Structure 1
């Protein structure tokens, strides 16, 4: 009895420490609101801090909806693999088989690019179309404009992160199912797993508690970011690569699925195969290789997979350590929401250290940086041309054909203590797994796999790509 009380007290102390760390990091980097969740050995723990919006403040919790941006790619890839198992798509098939209307700047490349090339970023496509929005915001209209997108490598030659490639993959989903991409992902993934707060449409976001992104205005003060996503409401062309919105609770349920055996939706070998390296990354701070959609990255000797997402003043991170049945989610609603070596701080750091307790501080230099959406477009333009230059003129020490590394970002100067800093952080946990889905109830016991012993930790990371 006494031992149980001591264990409960120890767990409560750790959760309080967890909440204090999240609050300290959020206040240090001027983040109005953040939600962090950890899944370890089947137990979920949440730490929430701050408010959803400075103008209309409500407390952030694990059911607050944030824009996931590029984490959406993990859902797109999983849905496509379900279609592969159903025999409707082949990974090695050319994309033209499913999207016959595809036209690219290089006609030969348009014939050669395969479905797998899209999913592991080896199609040779540049990052994305800039300012491609028009009256028709459909996926079909987006794909019709891909002849404007530069190709920066031969298909299959090397990895080059591409939002446009995943949007094209979404068009494959529409062609083979006859339904919209959003309807298909809901039917194949979201509904079977019970992810009821994971949605595409801004109309669906508005009827739930949601966070507002924040960016710095010309006066240096935080203001609400518009549009809510990185693209205007009603535009669907970027949904496969970055359109989902979700909560910390739903993302931990998504992580539980990917740490499990497939829940009757995917064969275990298919699900776990998404983690295996399909192409290496060299000289990149985002990881050392791609699986299918996942960035692969060793952290203190632990193999992790993950993905990040950067929207308009909102940032998201999802990292998993499959060997330890461990996952961490961080969501934040300001430009300062990350903290990772070599990148501008954006989200709260959350990387695993299963062999020891407590966070590890990491020093990152801070420098001022141009702000605003015009500056963002300029940086994207600069990044595109940097990729071309580095492809044509590799740096000393680069291997022939190696992909250029991502942009190195430094931190912004520390902001003064924000007005919401006094809003207390809270940590909650539960050891109860989510209710089994309809698909898993018939095919699996619904019990999460046993975990290796490990300690709960909090750190900062971003394997996120350039902003979506």
Structure 2
């Protein structure tokens, strides 16, 4: 998955134009303190952090509990980076284009048959999320089918043969499905597995050790965790094999991901024009853009350019931000998919702010429904008529008990606010909210069917910074 919607990316507000190479002892102490404090307060078991400054890796360290069996945090342990992997899939297609084996302007049907609109979807539209293919995993939890192994073709058969959500190029909608198709094309054209191609062309030349996240389990590997609302931290049950593939299949350490960030800053491995293509925001047919390029988000905050992507796998969250003009980057990987520890750690390293936009009438109506469900969950009740089949499946007796036990004691609500804009994903409307109490705040991440009477597909609660 990706672009964890609970909180928005925030960016540096002020900094010198050039950085010293090494961290000072005071900076190192401050980073140690803020990571340790954030883990303790949020309940996130561990974090792996890497910092690039002056196009060099100047810091790489792991903190906390990486699994039930690992006795000490290991900075070289591979975390599941999930959708941060998308930029590598995009790079693979760019490299194949350089080899003359395909063009990003080719249509999907040239390589993969029987995909809806395949004769109108260009390969680059798979990479910039404008294909119109419906996302197969918009939820921030494991839905029912994820208990069973799947193949890329299985995902394509179920989701890529539905009617398109829009004409290719007309809208932007995050689509893991599009990246699965892109990965299949890489394998067909290169005649090798996606991971093998990336290893040969990118990872080995950069000294990166990357493995399939489905295999990054067991002794010696970080274990994923989660929470139901503000309940106890529990070991997360991994999804069955195959559910991320080219949309997010990679596991690596923060240090190794930082090596890729250095390559981006130095324009190494890929030709400079390919880096530029990846970082060029897509324009829709109406001329608008949201800043997304080929597997990365781009933007400018307070005069500072950034290239960014986040990721979410079962039990893991990741944030990777590159500041090209400052020759700097920050990578934060955590082994929980609950809360905002990964973003807060990045924010406290970078010091960022991003104000929320005002809500419209539809958002106001949605907020009333969300508030109703939130109040029900605090009381231990739930009108299941407001839920889709998947959301009904999610709210087991254990989940309901965790929600009530952790939310009921929070007391009087002082503020209930939507964070950011609503957006379409996977056939649902995503909205996120912040609920403030006297001594803490929580975030609510929701997906709902479109329309006034749309049922709730996702309703997740996690602690956020007050």
Bin for the TM-score computed over the shorter chain: 0.5 to 0.7
Alignment deviations for residues 287-314 of structure 1 (CA, whole Å, 9 cap, x no partner): 9311111111323321111100011121
1:168 corresponding residue in structure 2: 181
1:220 corresponding residue in structure 2: 231
TM-score (norm 1): 0.67
Specify the SS of the correspondent of 1:309: strand
Q: Does 1:238 align with 2:244?
A: yes
Specify the SS of the correspondent of 2:118: helix
CA distance in 2, matches of 1:222, 1:375: 26
2:118 corresponding residue in structure 1: 110
Q: Is the 8 A contact 2:93 2:104 kept in 1?
A: no
Alignment deviations for residues 306-357 of structure 1 (CA, whole Å, 9 cap, x no partner): 1000111210011101111111001111234526xxxxxx54342599xxxx
Alpha-carbon spacing, 1:215–1:199, altered in 2? closer, same or farther (3 Å): same
Unaligned runs of 5+ in 1: 1-6, 340-345, 382-396, 417-465
CA distance in 1, matches of 2:237, 2:428: 32
Match 1:203 to one of 191, 211, 215 = 215
Give the CA deviation at 1:246: 1.1
Q: Is the 8 A contact 1:281 1:290 kept in 2?
A: no
Q: Is the 8 A contact 2:22 2:58 kept in 1?
A: no
Alpha-carbon spacing, 1:201–1:19, altered in 2? closer, same or farther (3 Å): closer
Alpha-carbon spacing, 1:414–1:301, altered in 2? closer, same or farther (3 Å): farther
Q: Number of aligned pairs?
A: 361
CA distance in 1, matches of 2:250, 2:168: 28
Specify the SS of the correspondent of 1:112: coil
Alpha-carbon spacing, 1:267–1:218, altered in 2? closer, same or farther (3 Å): closer
Match 1:181 to one of 194, 206, 209 = 194
CA distance in 2, matches of 1:267, 1:218: 46
CA distance in 2, matches of 1:190, 1:411: 42
1:458 corresponding residue in structure 2: none
Alignment deviations for residues 340-377 of structure 1 (CA, whole Å, 9 cap, x no partner): xxxxxx54342599xxxx7468999xx97979xx9995
Q: Does 1:121 align with 2:125?
A: no
Q: Is the 8 A contact 1:280 1:289 kept in 2?
A: no
Higher strand share: 2
1:73 corresponding residue in structure 2: 86
2:60 corresponding residue in structure 1: 46
Deviates more, 1:139-148 or 1:86-95: 139-148
1:452 corresponding residue in structure 2: none
Write out aligned runs for 1:49-64 (5 A).
49-53=63-67, 55-64=68-77
CA distance in 1, matches of 2:246, 2:155: 11
Alpha-carbon spacing, 1:147–1:170, altered in 2? closer, same or farther (3 Å): closer
Write out aligned runs for 1:387-398 (5 A).
none
Q: Does 1:298 align with 2:327?
A: no
Q: Which protein has greater RCO, CA pairs closer than 8 Å, 6+ apart?
A: 1
2:399 corresponding residue in structure 1: none
Alignment deviations for residues 143-197 of structure 1 (CA, whole Å, 9 cap, x no partner): 233355452211011211100000000011111122222322222222222212x
Match 1:95 to one of 94, 108, 131 = 108
CA distance in 1, matches of 2:153, 2:291: 31
Give the CA deviation at 1:46: 2.8
Q: Does 1:317 align with 2:345?
A: no
Q: Does 1:22 align with 2:39?
A: no
Alpha-carbon spacing, 1:349–1:154, altered in 2? closer, same or farther (3 Å): farther
RMSD over aligned CA atoms reads: 4.0
Specify the SS of the correspondent of 1:151: coil
1:408 corresponding residue in structure 2: 432
Q: Is the 8 A contact 1:338 1:348 kept in 2?
A: yes
Q: Is the 8 A contact 1:29 1:414 kept in 2?
A: no
Give the CA deviation at 1:90: 0.4
CA distance in 2, matches of 1:149, 1:133: 19
Alpha-carbon spacing, 1:352–1:14, altered in 2? closer, same or farther (3 Å): closer
TM-score (norm 2): 0.67
Q: Is the 8 A contact 1:299 1:352 kept in 2?
A: no
Q: Does 1:334 align with 2:342?
A: no
Give the CA deviation at 1:102: 2.8
CA distance in 1, matches of 2:31, 2:333: 15
Q: Is the 8 A contact 1:65 1:205 kept in 2?
A: no
Alpha-carbon spacing, 1:225–1:167, altered in 2? closer, same or farther (3 Å): same
1:348 corresponding residue in structure 2: 344
